[in-house]
Structure 1
Amino acid sequence: MDEAEFTSSLFKGLGRPHCYYQRHKDFPYREALLHACLYNPAYDHQIEGARTNYYWELLNITACNTDIRQNILEALRNPVEEMDIEQLFGFALNYARSGDTVARQLMYSLGAEYACAGSTVGAEQLVELDNIDAFLFIAEHRGRTNEAQPDFWDNDFLLKQIEKHLSAEKIQEQLKKAQQTNVFIARYFTLISSQDTARTLKPSLSQQPYEEIKRIILESQRRIASAVFYRWGKLASDDDIYRAAQDLLTLTDTKIIPLYLGMFCKRTFPFGLSPLLPLVWSNEERVASYAIRAVAMFHDSQVRALALQLIAAKHHTSDAIKLFIHNFQAGDELFLTEIFEQNIDDDDLHSLICSLIDVFEQNLTQSSQDLLIALYEQSPCSICRQHIVDCLVKLASLPDWIIDECQYDANEKIRLAVHQYCEAKQSQF
């Protein structure tokens, strides 16, 4: 494995670097490993999260943990843009657990700074280290903030961490005592309580009646995530969805049309396929994209024909592939493989792989194995890779080399799925 291959596998979070290091004593490419530890080059940080354990395992294999420790702690102390602070705190947690007093002190000093600044960075790792004592330490510093309406984290999540080590009764006893003796902790819980009440009283957008959704769309100046409209459309009453569909047919504002189309990406458009077809060819990117996704809800020969036309015209190819979800035919694997093998950049590649996964999750055949393995190799995202591995598990078609490296994948769910797959196969004999 050359450096480019090693780095690509490492950044994707594959278990391949682990297997490679197990076979080599010289442990090359340490600069790539250090970069990954500091920056976490995961495709999507928000969804994939920190990879502390994955990189930590590699550091321990190479026996270069001591050398890299100084770089990691210095980066945590003085981070530069794009460094993954949560991941760096995760490394500091591992060092502190092993008796590293410098790492422990750094976690507490920085945790206090972040808390006083209104941030929750490092709080989870501190609570993981010292349970309720660390929780109260962070609560005190959050209570010291002068912000009028501080943006608190979900304290229930942190308290659930503590419940692994203390009974609920013991936790409540200590929390009550701390509020009685520390004004800042008391203030923290007062603010938490008021925010929890506000969140409880405010229903989510996906549960609002159509008239309220319509008002929000027309009046809101903020961008609303498309997933909100997916959920709303899925949960809406038949009457509400019918009225939304009627209004969609009258719209001309290309900023609003995609929001309405999003309501029909998980719920079939009640007036049939025909009204949506002109929108599919729109020059407005979001209009065309959401229109294609709405059309994908239909099982119809017209939809399949449209998919072929869109792909031939190279018009929203990734979205067009979704049209095969309910319109797949035997042999489409070869056609879809040809599309996948075209040269495309990483962002287009990810969108294309997501669409192909959606197709094969609904239309899984033994003939799709080769393409699924190619998707596994090329996917930049460990979440997509998880879905691909799940498909191969359902086919009972996991090659031995994938089994070997998936034991060390950055995605813990992949490790578990492959472990269960191997156990199930062994139980058959």
Structure 2
Amino acid sequence: MTKLLSEKNDDYGLDQMCDLAVKFYKAGYSEAKQVVYKRFEKNILEDYAFCGTEAIMELYGVEGVLKVAELVGEILIENPDDYESSWRIDDFQKRNKQVDIYKELEKASLENEFIKVYYNSIQQNKWTLPRHRKIKRFTYELVKEKMESKRFGFLSSDRNNELTEVVVEKLANEFLTEKDNQKIELYLRFFSARKFPFDYTPIFKIANGRNPKNKRLVEYAIEALKHFKSDEIRQFAINRIKTKKNPADFLCLLVSNYKKGDFKLLTEVINRSDDYDYIHSIVFGIIEIFEANPTKECQEPLELIYNKMNCGLHRIDIVELLYENNVLSDKIFKELEFDSEDRIRKLYRKIKNGR
């Protein structure tokens, strides 16, 4: 609470401290409510990051909403090009059906110019959920359209699996005759999600070659090769993983070519550095390998990378893999109860109930 009052710029830290203050108050620490109010008033001061909107609304109800409206309205007057959308008020209304919060704001706006500016702004900037657009059926024509518009992410989508084998073979034949490197790159993106239907040799040749200037053909060719099981591809992968300072791009090749004992090599790769960017670059491949190859051997490399990173999205994947392979340690299990990720805490409760 002391830190919340004095902290100026740690945006995520401030959000978490405000959320904690609400929990403290609900747990019986009455002084937390006043701390949130005092910190919220500092939002108007120079160098103080804005925080506490949701917290003060939850703690003070209608009074909190009016406090937010007054302070934000004052900021809007000083910054006429800025605006406030209605989503916070709409959310408050949804959770507090016993009060007409718009009527309360309208009434207060008659006597307070700051609240009036705020009220007008949320009326003019109504927040609505985006409408669901009808998804186009995945077809050969749609793939070609996305290639023309360079929609890279779309091309490597799992929706590629909706296409028939006939269509995939048609695209594969086009790829084999294509001369333009930019278009070859697009085809490889497609085949990173949908297995190339013919022999992998032409793709392997690209993966084993050099990139043309400003192109990423080698990277996408490697991604496309991950669907193939082959001694040649495995040896290529092992050599690159052993010799490259950062072998992140080559880890995916073990997805279809993992062998018993490879966990030792993966553990060595993880131990090469504690650098955040390095660890984050290799975690995708490590997870993908063990998702495709269930084994108790996953424990050592996954525990190691778990202890080296703080990304919640990857942590849930790591924990689930450890659990599914029956190698989740008691130490990590006990930590899950207090994890910042809701899905991990939910997994903790599931495991606990199972035990």
**TM-score, scaled relative to structure 2:** 0.74
Q: How many matched pairs?
A: 328
CA distance in 1, matches of 2:345, 2:46: 31
> Is 2:11 the counterpart of 1:39?
yes
Aligned to 1:397, which of 327, 335, 341? 327
Q: Secondary structure at the match of 1:263?
A: helix
Q: Deviations over 1:283-330 (max 9, x none)?
A: 256322221111001122122112112223428711211111111111
CA distance in 1, matches of 2:183, 2:18: 43
- Give the aligned partner of residue 53 of structure 2: 92
CA distance in 2, matches of 1:209, 1:139: 48
Deviates more, 1:409-418 or 1:398-407: 398-407
Alignment of 1:270-349 (within 5 A): 270-280=197-207, 281-283=209-211, 286-314=216-244, 317-343=247-273, 345-349=275-279
Q: Secondary structure at the match of 1:234?
A: helix
Structure 1: gaps spanning 5 or more residues: 1-26, 42-49, 156-195
Aligned-residue CA RMSD (Å): 4.2
Q: Secondary structure at the match of 2:168?
A: helix
CA distance in 1, matches of 2:318, 2:46: 35
Aligned to 1:238, which of 142, 165, 173? 165
Q: Secondary structure at the match of 1:249?
A: helix
Q: Which amino acid aligns with 1:130?
A: N
CA distance in 1, matches of 2:236, 2:308: 27
CA distance in 2, matches of 1:135, 1:257: 56
> Is 2:178 the counterpart of 1:251?
yes
| Aligned partners of 1:325 and 1:363 also within 8 Å | yes
- Give the aligned partner of residue 372 of structure 1: 302
> How far 1:53 moved relative to its partner?
8.6
Aligned to 1:130, which of 82, 90, 96? 96
CA distance in 2, matches of 1:292, 1:129: 50
> Is 2:120 the counterpart of 1:144?
no
Q: Deviations over 1:264-300 (max 9, x none)?
A: 1222101221111122243256322221111001122
Higher relative contact order (CA 8 A, sep 6+): 1
Q: Secondary structure at the match of 1:378?
A: coil
> How far 1:380 moved relative to its partner?
3.0
| Aligned partners of 1:322 and 1:355 also within 8 Å | yes
**CA pair 423-212 structure 1, distance change in 2 beyond 3 A:** closer
**TM-score, scaled relative to structure 1:** 0.63
CA distance in 1, matches of 2:89, 2:216: 38
- Give the aligned partner of residue 184 of structure 1: none
> How far 1:123 moved relative to its partner?
5.9
**CA pair 397-376 structure 1, distance change in 2 beyond 3 A:** same
Q: Which amino acid aligns with 2:242?
A: A
Q: Secondary structure at the match of 1:268?
A: coil
> How far 1:68 moved relative to its partner?
6.1
CA distance in 1, matches of 2:252, 2:19: 33
**CA pair 407-245 structure 1, distance change in 2 beyond 3 A:** same
Q: Deviations over 1:226-245 (max 9, x none)?
A: 25532342222222212222
Q: Secondary structure at the match of 2:216?
A: helix
**CA pair 215-100 structure 1, distance change in 2 beyond 3 A:** closer
CA distance in 1, matches of 2:183, 2:292: 31
Larger Rg over CA atoms? 2
CA distance in 1, matches of 2:87, 2:315: 28
Q: Which amino acid aligns with 1:317?
A: P
**CA pair 307-98 structure 1, distance change in 2 beyond 3 A:** same
